[in-house]
Amino acid sequence: MADTLTVKDNRTGKQYEIPISDGTIPASALREIKVDEEDFGLMSYDPAYKNTASCRSAITFIDGEKGILRYRGYPIEQLAEQSTFLEVSYLLLKGELPTQSELDTWVDKITHHTYVHQYMIQGMEGFKWDAHAMGKLVSLLGTLSTFYEDSKNVRNAAVRDEHIIKIIAKMPTIAAWCFRHMQGRPYIYPDNGLSYAGNFMNMLFRMAEPQYKPDPAIEKALDVLFILHADHEQNCSASAARAVGSAETDPYCSLAAAAAALYGPLHGGANEAVLRMLEEIGNLGNIPGFIEGVKNRERRLMGFGHRVYKNYDPRARIIKKLAHEVFAVTGKNPLLEIALELEKIALNDEFFVERKLYPNVDFYSGLIYQSIGFPVEFFPVLFAIPRAAGWLAQWQEMLMDPEQKIARPMQIYTGAGERAYVPMDKR
Catalytic (active-site) positions: 306, 362
Give the DSSP letter of residue 98: P
Closest CA to 226 of 85, 69, 16, 388: 85
Residues 6 or more apart whose CB falls under 8 angstroms from that of 415 comprise: none
Terminus-to-terminus CA distance in the chain, angstroms? 64
For residues 174 and 140, the answer to whether their CB atoms sit within 8 Å is: yes
Helix runs in 14-132, H state only: 76-82, 85-94, 100-111, 119-125
Contact yes or no for 336/279 (Cβ under 8 A): no
359 beta partners: 304
Q: What is the DSSP string of 170-229?
A: HHHHHHHHHHHHHHT-------TTS-HHHHHHHHHH--S-SS----HHHHHHHHHHHHHT
Give the whole-angstrom CA distance, residue 35 versus residue 41: 7
Distance set, CA 274 to CA 59, 169, 379 (Å)? 29, 30, 12
DSSP of 332-396: --TTHHHHHHHHHHHHH-HHHHHTT--B-THHHHHHHHHHHT--GGGHHHHHHHHHHHHHHHHHH
205-212 CB contacts, 8 Å cutoff, 24+ apart: 205/373
- Cβ atoms of residues 27 and 44 within 8 Å: yes
d(CA 89, CA 424): 59
Q: How many whole angstroms separate alpha carbon 401 and alpha carbon 405? A: 9
Fill in the DSSP letter of residue 99: P
Compute the distance between CA of residue 139 and CA of residue 125 in angstroms, rounded to an integer: 12
